[in-house]
Amino acid sequence: MAEPKIPGHIAYELDSKAENHPDFAVVTFENGNYPEEVLTYSDIVIRGRKIAHLLVRNGIGKGDAFALIMRNHPEYVYALYAATLTGAVMIPVDSRVRGDRLKYMLKDSKAKGVIFTSEFTDNVMNVVKDLPDVAVIGVSFKPGMERDGIDSLPLLNDIFEGPELPPPDQRNDDIAVPIEIIYTSGTTGDPKGVVVKGNRLGTYSQLALFIWQYTPADRLYTGLSLTHGNAQAVTLMPSLLLSIPSVVSVKFTKSRIWDRDKNSLFRSLSIARPVLCVNIFVATIC
């Protein structure tokens, strides 16, 4: 069994899991009436490396920031892998943020590039036109989204169809560098950026084991935005690092949460331990 070269380093952890269990379906993104997207460890590494090379080609490396503007989609996981692989700093932006507030966050974080889904094209392009230092480095088109205005932009859909790539030469081996900046909602003024270092992400799996007592028999679910700490700490990172299957809703809809067959959300919730429901209740209240 392959062991991670640097334990707790997200990219190395996922590399070893992709080598040992390439076809393990670890995260399922459900999207209502549209097809689910099921991610294996192999998917994450293969597509994550393509985003890593995309960052490098755009001059984004260790310590450089790039923003991600989308609902909960697989590209979030790929970009997180790419960030830990290169040492770049990912800025996950709540998809509801727009206009002056979005401009503020891109400037404050010193983002050099932005990745987004095509449903937010107008929102993003209206802002970056006034920010010459922020490049559009990737756009993802999903079923049900408009394609207007994206034909001249780099499409992640095309990039993902390309050949597999090795890790970039500029691989980051430092586990303690900043990997994310998560912005607060800004209820008392401008949003504040909270720096998350790579070695913090690995601790979420320890919380899951010893505090929340997750087991491989559990199934995790979140409908909260991956731009916030709860969805990352309680669901996504424990799922990825402990190989516990999870389901992530692209957008939380409480009217649909129980209306699932035994292979998806309903099964995920029906066998979950009571402590897991904290995440569900938070999502419902919000």
Has residue 87 been placed in a domain? yes
Strand order from edge to edge, sheet including 178-183: 135-140, 111-117, 65-69, 89-93, 178-183, 193-197
pLDDT in tens, 243-282: 999 999 998 766 666 555 444 443 334 333 444 444 443 3
Has residue 283 been placed in a domain? no
Has residue 101 been placed in a domain? yes
What's the CA gap between 229 and 83, in Å, rounded? 17
Query: Which residues constitute the domain of residue 159?
Result: 42-199
The number of distinct structural domains making up the chain is 1
pTM of the model: 0.90
Assigned token pair, 223: 């409908």
Q: Are 23 and 42 in contact (CB under 8 A)?
A: yes
- Cα separation values, 105 from 69, 89, 91, 185, 234, Å: 12, 14, 9, 11, 25
CA angle 228, 231, 233 (to 5 degrees): 95
Has residue 274 been placed in a domain? no
pLDDT of the residue at 269: 44
Whichever domain contains 59, its CATH number is 3.40.50.12780
Has residue 205 been placed in a domain? no
In the chain, DSSP finds a helix count (H) and a strand count (E) of: 12, 10
Has residue 34 been placed in a domain? no
pLDDT in tens, 176-214: 999 999 999 888 889 999 999 999 998 999 999 999 899
Has residue 208 been placed in a domain? no
- Cα separation values, 93 from 33, 57, 210, 260, Å: 25, 22, 30, 29
The ranges of the chain with pLDDT < 50 are 261-286
What's the CA gap between 141 and 245, in Å, rounded? 25
Interacting residues of 189 by C-beta distance below 8 A, sequence separation 6+ = none
Has residue 229 been placed in a domain? no
